[in-house]
């Protein structure tokens, strides 16, 4: 039985330095009272979010990834998936309201595009790391490796769950302040308010000149199966425009399209503005 409690104990506080573990106690007789956000951790989260936490249990649930449930008493706790569902809706509402009033002359299509830049997984995972949520999310030991390497989905889902927790704990005005005063400025500072779908931009650019749609080809794959790097070439009319690399084919294609756009901008005809292939 002692080994079981040790397993729970060290799994639960896997992000805590060993020298600080002696200051935190998860007593066997209080196992049914899961209190992860105690003292220092609660203050840590409050200071990073800029809010006051009234009900820590909601935030505890927001930080429990489904992979961690098997480490907790069966049937007594939930993962952050339900809160993620609610947080996604709250985030969309607040961001939509913010953009609607900030850009009164923008069309619906423009507003939708800008919103997508703000609330996609990449942007939200960036904010989650800036808020250091990666130090608090409870995941299994195997999932922790994914979180360390990238973990965009885990981080973005956790941030949406935390947004739901703020909403449930403090109401719409407080969560709106968090999103408008903290989340959006972080993203504006990171320069995410631009179209980074380079494949789409390249497609529009070359087709405007009457060219064939770009095609992508994997030129090389390096690394072990679990950590591959892909090298991709992008072609227009069978001419190689540029190459790119990434940890996935999709990422490598975006990088190739981005590099192609740079090359096209450099080689663009000055007299008539046509793309010089």
What span, in angstroms and rounded, lies between the C-alpha atoms of 268 and 206?
12
Looking at 154, 189, 224, which one is the last position of a domain? 189
154 and 256 both lie in a single domain: no
DSSP reduced 3-state for 24: coil
CA angle 166, 168, 171 (to 5 degrees): 75
Which phi and psi angles does 273 have, rounded to 5°? 75, 5
**CA 209, CA 111: separation in Å to the nearest integer?**
27
Q: What is the pLDDT of residues 62-114, one digit of tens each?
A: 999 999 888 888 878 899 999 999 999 999 999 999 999 999 999 999 899 88
Last residue within a domain, chosen from 189, 212, 231: 189
Boundary residue ending a domain (139, 165, 189): 189
Q: Note if 110 is an active site residue.
A: no
**183 vs 128: CA distance, rounded Å:** 9
Do 202 and 185 belong to one domain? no
Residues in a beta bridge with 178: none
What was the pLDDT predicted at 2? 40
**What is the β-pairing status of strands 215-222 and 229-236?**
antiparallel
Residues 105 and 230 in one domain: no
Q: Which of 88, 134, 157, 255 is catalytic?
A: 88
The answer for residues whose C-beta is within 8 angstroms of residue 19's C-beta and 6 or more apart is none
The one catalytic residue in 160, 169, 253, 255 is 160
What is the structure's pLDDT at 266? 74
Paired with 138 in beta bridges are 64
Closest CA to 207 of 129, 264, 145: 264
| Co-location of 82 and 39 in the same domain | yes
Strands of 239-246's sheet in order across: 215-222, 229-236, 239-246
**213 in the same domain as 177:** no
- Is residue 144 located within the same domain as residue 82? yes
Residue 40 lies in a domain: yes
Residues 228, 177 share a domain: no
Decide if 169 is catalytic: no
* Angle (CA) 184 190 193, round 5°: 65
Give the whole-angstrom CA distance, residue 198 versus residue 14.
39
**What is the pTM assigned to this prediction?**
0.66
Domain identity same for 66 and 143: yes
Return the pLDDT at 33: 46
Instruction: Answer whether residue 272 is part of any domain.
Output: no
Domain count, the chain: 2
Residue 46 corresponds to which tokens in the numbers above? Answer: 């409050």
Helix 108-119 and helix 121-130, axial crossing angle in degrees, nearest 10 = 40
Residues 101 and 239: their CA atoms lie apart, in Å, by 45
> Which DSSP state fits 68?
G
pLDDT at 164: 98
pLDDT in tens, 122-139: 899 999 999 999 999 988
Q: Which parts of the chain sit beneath pLDDT 70?
A: 1-35, 149-150, 193-195, 267-277
> Is 130 in the same domain as 163?
yes
Q: What is the 3-state secondary structure (H, E, C) of 89-144?
A: HHHHHHHHHHHHHHCCCCCHHHHHHHHHHHHCHHHHHHHHHHCCHHHCCECCHHHH
The range of the structural domain enclosing residue 219 comes to 198-267
């Amino acid at each position: 039985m002692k080994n079981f409690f040790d397993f729970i104990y060290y799994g639960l506080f896997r992000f805590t330095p060993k020298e600080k573990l002696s200051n935190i106690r998860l007593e066997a007789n209080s196992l049914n009272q899961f209190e992860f956000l105690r003292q220092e951790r609660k203050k840590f989260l409050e200071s990073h979010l800029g809010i006051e936490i009234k009900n820590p249990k909601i935030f505890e649930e927001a930080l429990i990834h489904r992979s961690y449930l098997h480490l907790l008493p069966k049937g007594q706790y939930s993962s952050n998936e339900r809160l993620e569902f609610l947080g996604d809706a709250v985030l969309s509402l607040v961001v939509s309201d913010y953009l609607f009033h900030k850009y009164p002359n923008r069309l619906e299509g423009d507003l939708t595009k800008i919103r997508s830049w703000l609330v996609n997984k990449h942007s939200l995972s960036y904010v989650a790391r800036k808020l250091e949520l990666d130090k608090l999310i409870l995941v299994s030991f195997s999932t922790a490796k994914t979180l360390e390497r990238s973990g965009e989905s885990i981080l973005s889902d956790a941030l949406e769950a935390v947004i739901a927790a703020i909403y449930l704990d403090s109401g719409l005005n407080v969560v709106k302040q968090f999103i408008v005063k903290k989340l959006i400025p972080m993203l504006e500072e990171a320069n995410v308010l631009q179209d980074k779908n380079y494949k789409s931009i390249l497609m529009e650019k070359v087709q405007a000149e009457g060219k064939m749609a770009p095609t992508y080809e994997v030129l090389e794959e390096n690394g072990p199966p679990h950590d591959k790097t892909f090298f991709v070439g992008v072609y227009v009319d069978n001419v190689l425009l540029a190459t790119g690399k990434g940890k996935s084919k999709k990422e490598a294609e975006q990088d190739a399209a981005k590099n192609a756009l740079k090359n096209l901008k450099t080689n663009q005809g000055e007299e008539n503005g046509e793309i010089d292939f």
